[in-house]
Amino acid sequence: MRVIGSESNQLGIMLLEQARMKAAELELDLVEVAPNATPPVCKIMDYGKYLYQEQKREHQAHKHAHASEMKEVKLKTRIGKHDLGIKVMHAKEFLGMGHRVKFTMVFKGREITHIEIGEQILKEVVVLLADTGKVERPPYREGRAMGLIIAPKNSVTDKPKSHSGGEKPKQAEKPKTPAPAPTSAPAEKPKETAAKT
């Protein structure tokens, strides 16, 4: 079997007993890392430390998996245009941070008989968020409510830049047009004006 040392250096091909003796000399463990290789590969290492590092890596990966949360925005059928704009603005912020957004349309009393009003508002939300998000789940019924899930278009986890503090957002520069080609006619000299004294 091929043996790799504790410093990731190649120790060469050894018999199993020789590899075990080498690991015992260093007071470390002999761990088979690639059993399907020809010849099999073993590494001399501290197995307890290796397991601890694997757990740490797994914990970090699990931690990053929960970075994207589901944020909820509640709406009512009698919401005004301005209030809807505010809710959409908050949803854009959530999408900009990489979170998914669930819109919940709540129906109270007899409003449940006019589901089409809620559907129309949710469709308007989809249109307003078309530039920052995509529909993950179209409008669906949930008892006395309707839901809609929007996911970010690109998975950017950076927070959107705030334009508060008196700064105005920069406008996109217009492409510069190339200078006109010189013509064969001679350019006119500017006329000099007589200075009054």
40-85 tens-digit pLDDT: 999 999 989 888 988 998 888 776 665 568 899 999 999 999 999 9
Name the least confident of 32-36, 106-110, 118-122, 157-161: 157-161
For 145, list phi and psi in degrees, rounded to 5.
-145, 165
Mean pLDDT of 35-41: 89
Are 2-65 and 70-152 in the same CATH fold? no
pLDDT at 17 over 70: yes
Give the per-residue pLDDT at 119: 92
**What angle is formed at CA 169 by the lines to CA 168 and CA 172, rounded to 5 degrees?**
135
Could you state, in order of their start, the residue ranges of all structural domains in the chain? Answer: 2-65, 70-152
What is the number of alpha carbons within 13 Å of residue 28 lying toward its C-beta?
A: 18
Count each helix (H run) and each strand (E run) in the chain, helices first. 4, 8
Pick the CATH number of 2-65 from 3.40.50.300, 3.40.50.1100, 3.10.20.80, 3.40.1230.10: 3.10.20.80
CATH number of 70-152: 3.30.110.10
Residue 116 binned pLDDT confidence (cut-offs 50, 70, 90): very high
CB 99 within 8 A of CB 132: no
